[in-house]
Amino acid sequence: MAKILDQPRYKCALAAMQTVQSIPGAIPILHSGPGCGQKLNDNSGVSGKFSPNIFPCTSVSEKEIVFGGEGKLRDTIANAIKIIDADLFVVLSGCTAEIIGDDIGSVVEEFAEADKAVIFANTPGFKGTNYLGHEWVLSSIFKQYLPAEKPETQKGLVNIFAGPPIQDPFWLGNLRQLEALAASIGLVPNTIFGHGRGVPNVDKIPAAQFNLLVSPWLGLTSVKILEEKYGTPYLHYPVLPIGAFETSKFLRAVGKFAGVDTAITERVVAEKEAEFYYYIERYSDFFLEMRIMSKRFVVLSEAQYALGITKFLVNDLGMFPTTQYITDNPPEEYHTLIFEEFRKLNYGIEAEAELFTTGIEVQEKIRNTDFGGFPLVLGSSWDREVAMQTGGIFVNISYPVVERMIINSGIVGYDGGLKFLEDIYTVAAGRLIL
């Protein structure tokens, strides 16, 4: 019997429309029912060129279910090209279109000679989540939009991929921090999401010296496509670098892979660490005296944050992890890699991790955990209640995000780690005056 999914922490694959919307100049065309796009679109920040409420849709009805919807899709694409000033149209299929067997690829092929590029991705909700949908959209762009031949390699150019836009609340700030880190050691970062990037940056992808994937698992399929298509090597760094310890390790790994002079990398690391620890030392008494919060913490989030935050709080702050809970349901072939990373912590500390999709069961485990005081609970808005029940300090770091606004903040890097400490200890300090 199928299990009921309570407290959903992701959406269906069609929500990959947000991946398309986050590429300036690109726009999704939905071949789905009329309510799907509006339900999946949460207006939480897209590329800026188009309103998040602009997404052509075939609005599949009973008529198309009986007689097929390819004709309506054909008309929708043709009219979208006429009236929308986009550079790339990405057709996404919903459950209804896939169930009735519409050949979306054949319809899209009819527009191969159109003035603007039209590609497609099969993204029905019954096939997976928007994490997988994000991967499928990137794979479609790389296979269908990018040219077959590799141009001359631009030395130092690195394509950077990380968490899925919008689903990851810190996606934009994190990407900008990763860009800055790459640039600090002399590389030329290339990202495709957010203001000032977009389709022109997509066009640069084939010329890169290498691809950099900062993610435990999401994105591996798409960077392997680029390796197969262009022979472009990729560096898979599975840990989101937060704070000094992991960020310095990250910079050294990237510098070595890119062939950067070690002296350059070490100079940057020394400068950045000196500044990071200057601020840590200034507030060390505050951190040590914050007795309202125990030294134990729990993260309930997608793998990238569960892992990255655990490493930061243990390696930089000296805190102790309880069992960490992963919410994004990674494919089984990545489980070993993820679980092993949780055991690679400083001071001989190892963290246990569990996968889960139903929040109520996990929150019961948290209520029955001995934290030795008031724990730090980092998760989605669903987890605020269990934090209150345990007397814990709650910080909202993953979808859904309800009680805070995140515009362009990031928690990656040296500066991101300091910003993250501000978030944590601002909440903790607020408890002192209650």
* Predicted confidence (pLDDT) at residue 83 exceeds the cutoff of 90: yes
Q: Tell me, what amino acid is at 320?
A: F
Per-residue pLDDT reduced to its tens digit, 116-162: 999 999 999 999 999 999 999 999 999 999 999 999 999 999 999 99
* Predicted confidence (pLDDT) at residue 1 exceeds the cutoff of 50: no
Each residue of 133-170: b (16+ CB within 10 Å) or e?
Answer: bbbbbbbbbbbbbbeeeeeeeeebbbbbbbbbbbbbbb
Class of domain 13-145: alpha beta
Per-residue pLDDT reduced to its tens digit, 294-330: 789 999 999 999 999 999 999 999 999 999 999 999 9
Euclidean distance between CA atoms 173 and 406, whole angstroms: 9
- Phi, then psi, of 423 in degrees rounded to 5: -60, -45
Q: Which residue has the higher pLDDT, 412 or 286?
A: 412
115 pLDDT tier (thresholds 50, 70, 90) = very high
- Please classify residue 363 by burial: count the beta carbons closer than 10 Å to its beta carbon, then call 0-12 exposed, 13-18 middle and 19+ buried: buried
Class of domain 277-432: alpha beta
Three-state SS at 387: helix
Model pLDDT, residue 387: 92
Model pLDDT, residue 272: 98
Percent of the chain residues past pLDDT 90, beyond the cut? 76
* Predicted confidence (pLDDT) at residue 59 exceeds the cutoff of 70: yes
CB atoms within 10 A of CB 333: 9
Model pLDDT, residue 323: 94
Q: What is the DSSP letter of 142?
A: I
| CATH superfamily assigned to domain 154-260 | Nitrogenase molybdenum iron protein domain (3.40.50.1980)
- DSSP of 20-34, one letter per residue? HHTSTTEEEEEES-T
Q: Shortest CA distance to 298 belongs to which of 346, 368, 245, 402?
A: 368
Per-residue pLDDT reduced to its tens digit, 230-260: 999 999 999 999 999 999 999 999 999 999 9
Model pLDDT, residue 4: 56
Residue 325 CB contacts under 8 Å (≥ 6 apart), including other chains: 298, 299, 300, 301, 306, 353, 354, 355, 356, 362, 379
The whole-number average pLDDT for the span 209-228 is 98
- Phi, then psi, of 109 in degrees rounded to 5: -60, -25
Model pLDDT, residue 42: 66
Euclidean distance between CA atoms 252 and 269, whole angstroms: 8
The whole-number average pLDDT for the span 380-401 is 93
Model pLDDT, residue 5: 66
CB atoms within 10 A of CB 229: 17
Model pLDDT, residue 312: 97
| Cis before 216 (ω within 30) | no
285 pLDDT tier (thresholds 50, 70, 90) = confident
Q: What is the DSSP letter of 148?
A: S
Domain ranges for the chain: 13-145, 154-260, 277-432
Residue labelled with tokens 């991929």:
161
* One fold for 154-260 and 277-432: yes
